[in-house]
Amino acid sequence: MSSEQTPTTAESAGPRPRRLTYAAALAACEGLALVVGGAWMLVEGFTGEPDDRRSAVTAGVTLIVLALLPLLAARGLLGRRSWSRGPAVITQIMALPVAYNLLQADSIAIPAGIALAAVAIASLVLLVNPATTEALGIRGPGRPQEPNR
């Protein structure tokens, strides 16, 4: 049996930790928010009166494509795939400057910035937690690799 077919210790080590489930849920919520925002921009670009129709459509498509990163990361986290932590962490790091920019606005965007910052920080804390790292089968520096069983 090849190593691709044998379950790793992370996949067979019992139930998924709640921290990992929460991190996946937060990433999925961010992805869904990006899809909704992108769809809104697309609809507004086609049916509304935007200042620049091409920019509205491009931004909408871009948001929908960007939504794939946190959605795939959430799916991987739920499946306890070790590769999924990287895209999830990258998503949160990219969200922090966006939250900062929203907080600098003098509008209704301020509560959105607060919410985004809170979600990004909470997700980062959950993703770097030792229980999450262990559940994903990620070994730290200097730790020997476990043999395949």
Residues 2-30: tens digit of each pLDDT = 444 434 444 545 788 899 999 999 999 99
Q: Contact at 8 Å (CB) between 78 and 66?
A: no
Q: Which pLDDT value is given to residue 4?
A: 44
Q: What is the rounded average pLDDT of the residues 93-107?
A: 92
Q: Which pLDDT value is given to residue 3?
A: 43
Dihedral of CA atoms 66, 68, 73, 76 in degrees, nearest 10, equals -170
Q: Going by C-beta distance under 8 Å and a sequence separation of 6 or more, which residues neighbour residue 22?
A: 122, 126
pTM more than 0.85 = no
Q: Which pLDDT value is given to residue 145?
A: 60
- Give percent above pLDDT 70 in the chain: 85
